[in-house]
Amino acid sequence: MKRICVWALAGLLLAACGDDEKKSKDATQQCKDLINAFCDRVTSCAVAADILDDEYPAADVKADCQENGRDELNCETADAISEGYDDCLSDAKTAGCAASNAALIDGREPLAPTSCQGVILYDP
């Protein structure tokens, strides 16, 4: 399997702060928790389906996913999370594997659940 990026949350998570925001003492950590949950799920799905090989083992899939997530979301600058964060986190942990695995096999990035749209907030 060729080495690919497994991160597609960036387009779904970025948003400017709005009325539905939930102020958080640690939006940075919550952003990181979301990346980890999503990457754990993508990796566990790939392992369960046995679609990885020695050239691209599970540890590399997870590490690449986390690195790409950190690069794309820049959690260090997160200011708050929206009210939908808890649903997004839950969905990221339990997302179906079929779409994620198909994306990996096709060399595409797995997509985050739609509930994750706009959950990490940044001040303009």
Question: What pLDDT, on a 0 to 100 scale, did the predictor assign at position 53?
Answer: 87
Residue 14 scores a pLDDT above 50:
no
Q: How many other CB atoms are found less than 10 A from the CB of residue 18? A: 10
Which tens digits make up the pLDDT trace of 53-78?
A: 888 899 999 998 898 888 888 899 99
Radius of gyration (C-alpha) of the chain in whole angstroms: 14
Please say whether the beta carbons of 72 and 7 come within 8 A.
yes
Please say whether the beta carbons of 78 and 30 come within 8 A.
yes
Residue 90 scores a pLDDT above 90:
yes
Question: What pLDDT, on a 0 to 100 scale, did the predictor assign at position 23?
Answer: 46
DSSP output for 66-117: HHHHHHHH-GGG--EEETTHHHHHHHHHH--HHHHHHHHHTT-PPPPPGGGT
Which tens digits make up the pLDDT trace of 20-44?
A: 444 455 999 999 999 999 999 999 9
Supply the pTM of this predicted model.
Answer: 0.81
Question: What pLDDT, on a 0 to 100 scale, did the predictor assign at position 87?
Answer: 97
Q: Identify which of 23, 109, 24 has the alpha carbon closest to the alpha carbon of residue 68.
A: 109
Q: Identify which of 83, 6, 77, 71 has the alpha carbon closest to the alpha carbon of residue 40.
A: 6
Antiparallel, parallel or unpaired: β 21-23 and 80-82: antiparallel
